[in-house]
Amino acid sequence: MADFEKILFKNIDFPDQDKIDIYIKNGGYNALRKALDSMSPESVTEEVIKSGLRGRGGAGFPTGRKWTFLPKDSKRPVYLTVNADESEPGTFKDRELIEKDPHLVIEGTLLAAYAIKCGQAYIYIRGEFAFGARQLNKAIEEARAKGFLGKNILGKGVDIEIIVHRGGGAYICGEETALLTSLEGNQGYPRVKPPFPAISGLYSAPTIINNVETLSNIPYIINKGAEKFSAFGTAKSPGTKIFCLSGHINKPGNYELPMGIPLRELLYEYGGGIKDGRNLKAVIPGGSSVPLLTADKVDVRMDFESLAEAGTMLGSAGVIVIDETVCMVRAAYNLARFYQHESCGQCTPCRQGTYWILAILERIERGRGSLKDLDKLLEICENIEGNTICPLGDAATPSVKSTIHHFRDEYEYHITEQKCKVSMGPRFE
């Protein structure tokens, strides 16, 4: 098993870790104290750049570098928006951090705000996470009472406020520009980039958007230094990562492991193997928006570069495990229904494309498809890709294309025999 130190989940199951006294006892808020005592905002940013930390929201953009895109000496306030929308199917890591170790999220947010000279941060949390929102609000009030948050933090003349803003159940609002539109009180439609949020974001002011897990790494980086952090993982994907295991796996759940861990180790050593001793058929390694890997690819390493080489993506690291009994047409249909439901409708290729993908898959599912439908599906995918304002359209096509590519025989069987080639059987106990 991998030899490493936990950065994010070190205290996740410690009793009462969500209470500030326990969080402090376990070393909490030392990083904030250290930064305010002895580091300039620029040197915090410098340390994060040196660590090589990359965004955990899906795109993997270097975090420290993103911060340097802010205009120097902006006359407008600078905003920090923490992306806690967590809606990518297969992903449930930010929720665990927020619910069980909310002060870690708050401390990471405060450090990032200090680094970018932001006085007002927002945590945009998906509306359904009612308990998570309560946990964050409680943590904020506890931190304020101890002088870690609010006016004149630790007597150092730094003011930072955090507001927990609840979303309304729209996947699209996890996309950073839609998140900002939503936070402004509007329907959550994505905006055209450029201008990038760092130049013109929330209320047209310079804005940084970072994922919950991304920011939860910052206290460790400030406490222990960039080198300690980048000692874990790979050269280009440093640090640890929370992998979310779901589907047909014996021990589903979140696992913090070094970047670059082999998928096989993740599934069989940590996840306890495929449920009920069945055979593995496919794995979607980075949330529902990335191409699947077939069972013979389980030796791939779980980091940004290795997964790209294997033709897929690390994405949000939502690892969905699919066993041999699953009909891949049904799986594709299930995800097509999700994307059709969640397309905001702003761009025609995405709105109509997701509609037709779902309609055709439904037809095949019902045994009324034709072999020509497969080429039609691929053509629709091509029409969506690259032709939309935000990447939701591009996120809707990999499940369709990769199931057709690897399991064309199942589609053909479905069309000619009018039924599934395999059947999952009862799974609800």
Partner 1 sequence: MGTTVNKLLSEKSIKELNRLKGLYPVRKSVVLMVLHVIYDQFGYIQPEALKEAAGIMEIPLIDFHQAASFYTMFPREAVGKYHIQVCRTLSCELRGSQELVAFLKEKLEIDMGGITSDSMFSLTEVECLGSCGTAPMMQINDTYYENLTRARVEQILDDLRSKSGNG
Ligand X SMILES: Cc1cc2nc3c(=O)[nH]c(=O)nc-3n(C[C@H](O)[C@H](O)[C@H](O)COP(=O)(O)O)c2cc1C
Interface with partner 1 in residues 327-366 (CB under 8 A): 331, 334-335, 337-338, 341-342
Q: What are all long-range contacts of 91-96, with beta carbons under 8 Å and residues at least 24 apart?
A: 91/244, 91/287, 91/316, 91/317, 91/318, 92/244, 92/246, 92/254, 92/318, 93/213, 93/242, 93/244, 93/254, 93/316, 93/317, 94/211, 94/212, 94/213, 95/129, 95/132, 96/12, 96/242, 96/254
* Under rule CB under 8 A, residue 170 binds partner 1: yes
Q: Measured from the CB atom, is 55 or 239 closer to ligand X? A: 55
- Do residues 249 and 292 lie in contact, with contact meaning Cβ atoms separated by under 8 Å? no
Q: Alpha-carbon distance 104 to 170, whole Å?
A: 26
* Under rule CB under 8 A, residue 101 binds partner 1: no
Binding site for ligand X (CB under 6 A): 55-59, 61, 83, 85-88, 172, 174-176, 209-211, 214, 390-392, 395
245 binds, among ligand X, partner 1, none (CB under 5 to 8 A by kind): partner 1
Q: Measured from the CB atom, is 335 or 395 closer to ligand X? A: 395
Interface with partner 1 in residues 23-82 (CB under 8 A): 77
Could you tell me the smallest distance in angstroms from the CB atom of residue 220 to ligand X? 15
In the list 129, 229, 356, 407, the residue contacting partner 1 (rule: CB under 8 A) is 129
* Under rule CB under 8 A, residue 308 binds partner 1: no
Q: In one letter, which amino acid is 178?
A: A
* Under rule CB under 8 A, residue 256 binds partner 1: no
* Under rule CB under 8 A, residue 258 binds partner 1: no
Q: Alpha-carbon distance 34 to 223, whole Å?
A: 7
Query: Treating both helix axes as pointing N-terminal to C-terminal, what angle do 408-417 and 328-342 enclose, rounded to 10 degrees?
Result: 100
Could you tell me the smallest distance in angstroms from the CB atom of residue 391 to ligand X? 4
Kindly report the number of other CB atoms within 10 A of residue 102's CB atom.
Answer: 27
Q: Measured from the CB atom, is 30 or 187 closer to partner 1? A: 187
Structure tokens at 92: 């449930």
> Per-residue contact track with partner 1, 186 to 215, x per CB under 8 A?
xxx--------------x------------
* Under rule CB under 8 A, residue 277 binds partner 1: no
The answer to whether the bond into 194 is cis (omega within 30° of 0) is yes
* Under rule CB under 8 A, residue 253 binds partner 1: yes
Could you tell me the smallest distance in angstroms from the CB atom of residue 377 to partner 1? 18
Q: Measured from the CB atom, is 271 or 286 closer to ligand X? A: 286
List contacts with partner 1 (CB under 8 A).
77, 86-92, 94-95, 120, 126-131, 163, 165-171, 182-188, 203, 244-248, 252-254, 284, 288, 318, 320-322, 326, 331, 334-335, 337-338, 341-342, 424, 426-429
